Chains A and B, each alone.
Chain A
Amino acid sequence: MLSFVQVLTSGIAIGCVYGLVALSFVLIYKATAAVSFMQGEVLMVGGFTVLALNVGLGLPLLPAILCGVVLVATLGAGLERSVLRRALGQPHLTAVLLTFGLGLIMRGAVTTVPAASHGMHRLALPFGDEPLRLGALAIAPQHLLVIVATVAVAGALSLFFRHTRAGLALRACSENPQGAALVGIPVAAMHTLAWGLGAALAAIAGVLLAPITFVHLGMGLIALKAFPAAVLGGMTSLPGALLAGIFIGVAEALAGLLLPEGGKDVVPYALLMAALLLFPGGLGTALRQLRR
C-alpha cells in the first residue's frame, strides 16, 4: 500500500511535467492552429539555460529560473516573429516541419557546446533531496516541488486568462481570429504572445524535470509523451491537457508496477491510439456525452 502511494506521487509528479508540456502544445495550437514539434527541444534549452545561469554565471537559483524562463520565452516569441509566422494559413505539415527543423537547430546548437553534450547535469535544489517522511511514507521533495509548482503555474495561467486584457484577448483570438481582429485585438501580436507563453511553459517544465531526470540532451524526448496528453485532453482544452498529462503519468507509473518490463513505455502511445480511435474529441467531450 505504501509503495503504491509512493508510485502514485511520482506518477503525479511526472504527469505534471507531461501536463505542462501538453499545455504549451495546446496553447499554441489553439491560438495559431500550428502543431509544434519543438516543445521538447525548447524544454531542453530551458533546462540548459537555467543551468548555465545558475552554475555558469553563479546566479542564485530563483533569479536564474526567472531569467531563464524569460529568455526562453523571448526565444519563442522571436522565432514566431521571424520564422513561424510564415506557417500561418499553410497546411499543418508546414508548421510541423518548420518546428521540427527549428528543434533540430536548437538541439544541434546545444550539442556543439562541449560542456553541455557530455553527460548529465544536476540542478541543485535549495533544500536538498532528503525524502520527506510522513510516518512510514517517504516522498521525494522534488516530486512535491513539481506538484506544487504546477498547481501554482496553473493558477497563474487561469488568472491570466480570466482577468487580464492580454489573456482575454488571447482567448478571443483562439475562438475566432477574424472576430477578434474586428473588435481591435492585434491578432499578430497575440500569436507572438502565444508562442512566447508556450516556450515559457516548456522551459518551466524543463526546470521542474531537472531535479528528477537531470539536465541532458535527450530530456526533450519527454515531449513525445505530452502529445498523447494533449490529444487525450481534446487538443483545445487547457485544463484538459493538464489533467490528461497527470492521468498519463499515473497510468504509466501504475503500468510500471503491474505490467512486465517495457509495458510502461508503450502505455502513453497505446492510450494515444485508444483515445484517437474511441474519443477523438478528448476525454472531456466523451464524459459530457455520457452525461447527456
Chain B
Amino acid sequence: MKAVHAVLALPAALRNSAAAVLGIATVLAALGVDYALAQLAMIATFAIAGLGVVIIVGQAGQISLGQGALLALGAYVQALLVRHGVPALLALPLAVLAGMAGGWLASLPAQRLGGLYFAMSTLAFALIVEEVLVRWSTLTGGAAGLLVPPPSLFGWSVESAAAQAVFSLACLALAWLACHRLLDASLGRAWRAVREDEGAAAASAIDPLRAKRSAFLCGGALSGLAGALYAHWIGFLSPEQFGLLLSFELLMLAFIGGVRTLAGAWWGALVIVAIPQAIAVLRDLLPAAVAHTAGLEAMLFGVVLVAMILLRPQGLCGPSPGR
C-alpha cells in the first residue's frame, strides 16, 4: 500500500517515464531481447516509409495510393546492387535515388490532373510497377523472388538484431532531421499552402505543380530508403509484398499515428508492427477453431483503421480539433 502511495506522489514526468521503462521491460521479457530488437528495426523502417506518407499526404495534401511501388523500387535497386557486389552503403544512396525517380514519375500526371483523378493515376502507376516486377523475371526473379544478403559496413556485417535496430534507428534519425528541417523551410510552407488551397497558393507565388513534385521527390526518397532497409531485414523480395496492400498499410500507418505530424509516422509504425504481435498473444486465448486462420489479422487491421478514422481522425498524436 505504501509503495502505491509513493508511486502516486512522484511527479508526472517521472511517473510516465517509469511506466515507459516498465512497459519496455515487459515487452522485452515477453518477446525475448533479440526478437524485440528485430521488431524495433522493422518499426524504424516502417516509420521512415511513414515519413514519406506524412510529407505527400499530410503536408502536401495529395492522395498517393502507390507508396508500395516506391518502396519496391528502393528495395529492388538495393537488393540487385548488393547481390552484384556493390557495398551496401554505396547502394543505399542509389536506392534512395530510385525511390526519388519513382516519385518523380508518379507525380508527372499532376500536370494534367488534380484531386481524385491524380490519386487514380498513382494507383495505376503502382499496379504497372508491380506487374513489371513480376514479368521482368530475368532481372527481378519474378514471382519466385530474390534473396538479399545482409548489409556490410566497412567489413562489418549487420546481421544481429541489435545491429539491425541500431542501423535502422540511425537512418530514421537522419531522415527525421531532414524532414524536420524541410517542414520549417519555405518548401514545407509551400506544401501546406498547396494542401489548404491551391488557388490561394498560386496567387502567393507558390507553384503548386512544383510543390507537389518536390513532395513526391522527398516522399519517394524516404520510401526508397525504407524499401532498401526492408529488403535487408526481410532478406527476401517478391513483387506481391509491394502490392496495393502495402500502399494502404502505409496510408493506414500514417493515419493511425497522425498524418500531419512527423511523430505520427513513428507511433503509426509502432501500432502497425504491434498488431500482428497482439494477434499472436490473443491466439492463445481464443478457441482453436477461430485462432488458426489468417483472417483475424485482416479483421483487426480493418477495425483499428475504421475506429481511428471515426473516433480520432487526427491520429494518435495529432492535435485535438478544439485547439
Contacts and interface: CB of A to CB of B under 8 A. Distances in A.
A106 B295 CA distance: 9
A270 B251 contact: no
Interface of B: 57, 63, 65, 109, 112-113, 115-117, 119-121, 123-125, 127-128, 131-132, 134-135, 244, 248, 251-252, 255, 289-290, 293-306, 309-310, 313
Contact of B116 (A35, A108, A109): A35
A265 to B, nearest CB: 5
Interface string A52-80: 00000000000000000000000000000
B131 A265 contact: yes
Q: Give chain A's interface residue range (CB within 8 Å of chain B).
A: 35 or more
Contact of B112 (A106, A109, A227, A280): A280
Given A92-B63, A280-B112, A266 B298 contact: no
A270 B121 CA distance: 10
Interface of A: 35, 83, 86, 90, 92-94, 96-98, 100-112, 114, 117, 224, 227-228, 231, 262, 265-266, 269-270, 272-273, 276-277, 280
A205 to B, nearest CB: 19
B302 A102 contact: yes
B295 A108 contact: yes
B310 A86 contact: yes
Dominant secondary structure at the A interface:
helix
A265 B131 CA distance: 7
Contacts of B65: 96
| Closest A-B pairs by Cβ, 6 of them | A111-B295, A108-B299, A104-B302, A108-B298, A101-B305, A105-B302
A269 B295 contact: no
Contacts of B302: 101-108
Given A112-B290, A266-B128, A276-B121, A94 B295 contact: no
B124 A273 contact: yes
Contacts of B132: 266
A265 B133 CA distance: 13
A35 to B, nearest CB: 7
